[in-house]
Amino acid sequence: MIPILDVSGLRVTRGSTHILRGVAWRVLPGEHWAILGANGSGKTSLLRALTGYLTPTSGRVTVLGEVYGESDWPELRRRIGIVSSALAGSIPPEETALETVISGRFAQLDLWVRVTRADRTAARRLLAAVGLGRLADRPWDLLSQGERQRVLIARALAARPELLILDEPCAGLDPVARDKFLAFVARLARRPRGPALVLVTHHVEEIIPAFSRVLLLRRGRVLAAGPRRQVLDSANLSATFGARLRLSRHGGHTRLLRR
């Protein structure tokens, strides 16, 4: 079985600063992972290394069977979908939801290629799948934050990725919008032949049951990695965030409390 991701001995050092320290992590087909850590723990740097935007100092990174430094990484990126609030700022305010989704098929921002009827039909189908079919012609700047996040998922899915990275997708969402968005992610995780999902967050309550495995990062190191039920406990989370915390589970929901 070829891993979706296989990282070993990953180190990233810039000057005297150690950003990632010997990270080892493997994602197998059929697994959905959450990466949890405090601000500055190395979450963003790990994502940038996985997508070829940050050159490792040492170690080995294999994504979808391709090895960093030995493969065409720009081409590989077409097989990886990314949903990030950082991307949202690069979308023209007047661009419609439909155009934003189509742009994902061509891995472009500010779409300029000639669009075919088939492109539009496929994009409308994806918008319907994320529950936004009625908003296809609405400009980006008139979409709510929750609607934008779902448009970005549809955009990422337009390229039929094998791996979908959700980089703090709930940032800026109110509690109701967040719950609706996470419910959609849960449905996405259940799709047959859907992409492997990696959720990056610093909120334990966003790690819904669909993410059966968790990677905990602290100061650039892997503190723990494995099945959700084994990794998410009060001791590990206290170490992850450097505070005395207690994990509370109730009705299928989890949250952290200060001791």
| 24 pLDDT tier (thresholds 50, 70, 90) | very high
Is residue 33 left, alpha or beta, with left meaning phi > 0 and alpha meaning psi from -120 to 50? Answer: beta
Mean local confidence (pLDDT), 143-152? 89
Q: Over 80: is that where the pLDDT of 61 sits?
A: yes
**Do 189 and 155 contact (CB within 8 A), yes or no?**
no
State both tokens at 107. Answer: 């891995």
109 Rama sector, left if φ>0, alpha if ψ -120 to 50, beta otherwise: beta
Among candidate residues 19, 1, 12, the one with its CA nearest the CA of residue 61: 12
Helix H or strand E encompassing 155: helix 145-157
Rounded to the nearest 10 degrees, what angle do helices 175-189 and 145-157 cross at? 20
pTM of the model: 0.88
Q: How confident is the model at residue 249 (pLDDT cuts 50, 70, 90)?
A: confident
- For residues 194-207, give the mean pLDDT: 92
pLDDT at site 237: 94
Whole-number pLDDT of residue 252: 65
pLDDT at 31 over 80: yes
Chain position carrying tokens 């669909």: 210
150 within 8 A of 131, measured Cβ to Cβ: yes
> CB-based burial of residue 121 (10 Å sphere; 0-12 exposed, 13-18 middle, 19+ buried)?
exposed
Listed in sequence order, the residues at least 6 apart from 180 whose beta carbon sits closer than 8 Å to its beta carbon are 146
pLDDT at position 19 = 92
User: What pLDDT digit, counting tens, does each position of 33-58 carry?
Assistant: 999 999 989 999 999 898 888 889 99
Regarding predicted confidence, which is higher, 1 or 63?
Answer: 63
Average pLDDT over the chain, rounded to whole?
Answer: 89
pLDDT of residue 28: 93
> Is residue 218 scored above 90 in pLDDT?
yes
**Mean pLDDT value of segment 161-176:** 88
At 105, is the pLDDT very low, low, confident or very high (cuts 50, 70, 90)? confident
Supply the pLDDT for residue 207: 93
